[in-house]
Amino acid sequence: MKNTLAGLKTSFHRRELWLIAAFMFLYYFSPGLSTPLYFTMTDSLHFSQAYIGILGSISSGGWVLGALLYRRFLGELTLKNLLNLSIVLGTLTTAAFVLLSNEVSAAIIYFCSGFAAMLATVATVTLAADYCPPRAEGFAFAVLMSIINLATSAADNVGSFLYAHVFDHNVRPLVLISAAFTAFAFVLVPLLRLGDKRQGEPAPSTNPMEPTHP
């Protein structure tokens, strides 16, 4: 119990954890497209509600493929390379929404977007897990996941506001801004100082107060 309390205390003093939290918030805080895309597909492209639901299933198929290919081909990448790859794919698939024009293009884009979203999830969740301090892993991980949820929710609200009040219900400028925000994460990755760290390796601590693993 004493070690656990010490772990909780040192979680708030660990500079690396604050840096990871800031990175995750900025990584996921790009003006959201979820609500604007729904209204675009409904009002402008006249997709049926059934087909919009099918697009969700197609996106989930991309998630599944991303998980399978990650396990087979990407598990040995360094964490830095995995993050950079997820940013590249996230930027490209976000920008691809400017090509959204019909049901076929929507299916292709949503599948690729689901694939990229899986890699982004794996990369950021691995980053969070590797930097959680000993004896406070569950608490620190839950906080980092809450930051992701906060950033995602705030981003969708900002994106919806821009779509309705700034871009006059034109989704394309919003898509380009969202892609630019995703690409900006490239600038942030070097600040993490990951070096050649492998996925799953616990990050070394620079805090002498931090409890050690038993």
14-185: CATH number: 1.20.1250.20
Q: What is the mean pLDDT of residues 64-93?
A: 91
* pLDDT averaged over every residue in the chain: 86
Q: What is the mean pLDDT of residues 72-97?
A: 91
**55-64, 108-117, 169-178, 190-199: least confident range:** 190-199
Q: In which band, very low, low, confident or very high, does the pLDDT at 88 lie, cut at 50, 70 and 90?
A: very high
- Six-digit token string for 22: 């800031």
How high is the pLDDT of residue 191? 87
Q: What is the mean pLDDT of residues 190-196?
A: 87
Say if CB 127 and CB 79 are below 8 A apart: yes
pLDDT digits (tens, 9 = 90+) for 33-53: 889 999 999 999 999 999 999
pLDDT at 14 over 60: yes
Give CA separation, 47 vs 94, 100, 107, 164, 180, in Å: 20, 12, 12, 20, 27
Percent of residues, the chain, with pLDDT higher than 90: 55
Cβ partners under 8 Å of residue 134, min gap 6: 7, 210, 211, 212, 213
- Six-digit token string for 126: 């691995």
Q: Would you report the helix, strand and coil content of the chain in percent, each value rounded to 5?
A: 75, 0, 25
**54-63, 98-107, 138-147: least confident range:** 138-147
Percent of residues, the chain, with pLDDT higher than 70: 88
**d(Cα 94, Cα 111) in Å, to the nearest integer?**
12
- In this prediction the pTM is 0.83
Higher per-residue confidence, 59 vs 71: 59
**d(Cα 70, Cα 93) in Å, to the nearest integer?**
18
Cβ partners under 8 Å of residue 113, min gap 6: 59, 62, 93, 94, 96, 97
pLDDT at 208 over 80: no
Among 33, 14, 31, 32, smallest CA distance to 22 is for 14
